[in-house]
């Protein structure tokens, strides 16, 4: 578009919106705050429009589509990442939309059809959703390498009675939270929860910085965090449970191709699928 028609279009848009979009002088033209806001919003709308067009086109392509996947960070580390290269290769030209969300947020998004697949900590209220227990792994204590307990080969929960805990808020991971608190109570103490965090990496970085201790799935050893030691917990009943969820009414072909691939692989197929209303075992 040549300069005169472009200028007229912009001026017409300014009249329509009732704001100045460009600050013009004899030496330069620059965006006003209103113009910068409009530009950002226009880019967002343009990106959404392109995504919509791709999704509509993919409906007619047998091996293409979009998968909206929710996950907690520990699930990505322990389960998704090891299988991801083979999965993406097997599924072909699928567009993936990854959403890092708390377990409760994923359940709500799945019920509202805002996600296709979720990876959550259980037990949690999953009524109305299909579930597949992926793994139940032992927990370890994340502690600073400089901490006196770090010299041991393992610890009991009772050894942590005087420690400051790093934990997710209960609303984000109720099953995981309740499991740890209940285990500590059974060991004879109430955990002193000094730090509440919203991200898995923070749960490892704080202990590495000698700011409290945390109890995390053993698969955290896949992450290399300087200054952090992961120690086995002798209490055998302390486990972390990871479950895959999806809505039974979701008939998206890509979802069912993904489920077929996942449930055929080692580490997934060992567990049986459970339909809606059947509770995940504690």
Instruction: Supply the pLDDT for residue 207.
Output: 95
Q: Residue 152's beta-bridge partner residues?
A: none
Domains annotated for the chain, with CATH where assigned, are 3-58 (1.10.10.10), 67-282 (3.40.190.290)
CB burial of 165-195 (b: ≥16 within 10 Å; e: otherwise) equals bbbbeeebbbbbbebbbebbeebeeebebeb
Q: Which residues contact 167 (CB under 8 A, 6 or more apart)?
A: 177, 180, 191, 193, 195, 196, 197, 203, 214, 215
Q: Take residue 211 and report the two structure tokens written for it.
A: 């700011």
| Structure confidence at residue 156 (pLDDT) | 92
Alpha-carbon span 87 to 74, nearest angstrom: 19
Residue 9 has phi, psi (to 5 degrees) of -65, -45
Residue corresponding to tokens 């030209």 = 93
What's the pLDDT at 275?
Answer: 34
Per-residue pLDDT of the chain (282 residues; tens, 9 = 90+): 556 787 888 888 888 888 888 887 777 888 888 888 888 888 888 777 766 665 565 554 445 578 899 988 877 776 777 778 888 888 888 888 989 888 889 999 999 999 999 998 888 888 999 998 888 888 899 999 999 999 998 999 999 999 999 999 988 888 888 889 999 999 999 999 999 998 888 999 999 999 999 999 888 888 888 999 999 988 767 888 888 899 999 988 888 888 888 777 644 444 433 333 333 333
pTM of the model: 0.64
Backbone angles phi, psi at 260, to 5 degrees: -65, -40
Supply the pLDDT for residue 145.
94
Report how far residue 225's alpha carbon sits from residue 203's, in angstroms, rounded to the nearest whole number: 11
Give me the DSSP letters along the chain: --HHHHHHHHHHHHHHHTS--EEE-SS-EEE-HHHHHHHHHHHHHHHHHHHHHHHHHHTTSTT-EEEEEEE-HHHIIIIIHHHHHHHHHHH-SEEEEEEE--HHHHHHHHHTTS-SEEEEEESS--TTSEEEEEEEEEEEEEEETTSGGGGSS-B-GGGGTTSEEEE--TTT-HHHHHHHHHHHHHTT---EEEEE-SSHHHHHHHHHTTS-BEEEEGGGGGS--TTEEEEEBS-TT-EEEEEEEE-TT---HHHHHHHHHHHTSTTTTTS-EE-TTSPPP-
Nearest to 216 by CA among 234, 194, 239: 239
Q: What span, in angstroms and rounded, lies between the C-alpha atoms of 77 and 117? A: 17
How many Å apart are CA 23 and CA 273, to the nearest integer?
61
pLDDT of residue 147: 95
Query: Helices 103-111 and 174-186, interaxial angle, to 10°?
Result: 140
């Amino acid at each position: 578009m040549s300069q005169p028609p472009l200028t007229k279009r912009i001026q017409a848009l300014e009249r329509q919106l009732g704001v100045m979009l460009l600050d013009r002088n004899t030496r330069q033209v620059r965006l006003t705050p209103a113009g910068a806001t409009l530009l950002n919003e226009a880019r967002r709308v343009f990106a959404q429009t392109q995504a919509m067009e791709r999704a509509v086109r993919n409906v007619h392509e047998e091996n293409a589509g979009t998968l909206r996947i929710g996950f907690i960070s520990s699930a990505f580390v322990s389960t998704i990442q090891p299988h991801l290269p083979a999965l993406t290769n097997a599924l072909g030209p699928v567009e993936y939309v990854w959403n890092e969300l708390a377990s409760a947020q994923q359940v709500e998004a799945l019920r509202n059809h805002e996600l296709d697949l979720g990876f959550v900590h259980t037990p949690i209220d999953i009524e109305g959703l299909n579930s597949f227990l992926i793994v139940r792994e032992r927990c370890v204590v994340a502690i600073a390498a400089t901490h006196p307990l770090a010299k041991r080969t393992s610890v009991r929960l009772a050894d942590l009675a005087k420690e400051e805990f790093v934990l997710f808020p209960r609303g984000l991971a109720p099953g995981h939270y309740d499991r740890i608190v209940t285990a500590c109570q059974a060991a004879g103490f109430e955990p002193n929860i000094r730090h509440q965090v919203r991200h898995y990496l923070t749960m490892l970085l704080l202990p590495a910085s000698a700011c409290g201790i945390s109890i995390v799935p053993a698969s955290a050893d896949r992450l290399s965090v300087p200054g952090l030691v992961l120690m086995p917990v002798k209490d055998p009943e302390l486990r972390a449970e990871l479950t895959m969820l999806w809505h039974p009414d979701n008939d998206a072909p890509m979802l069912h191709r993904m489920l077929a691939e996942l449930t055929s692989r080692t580490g997934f197929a060992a567990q049986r699928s459970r339909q809606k209303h059947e509770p995940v075992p504690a």
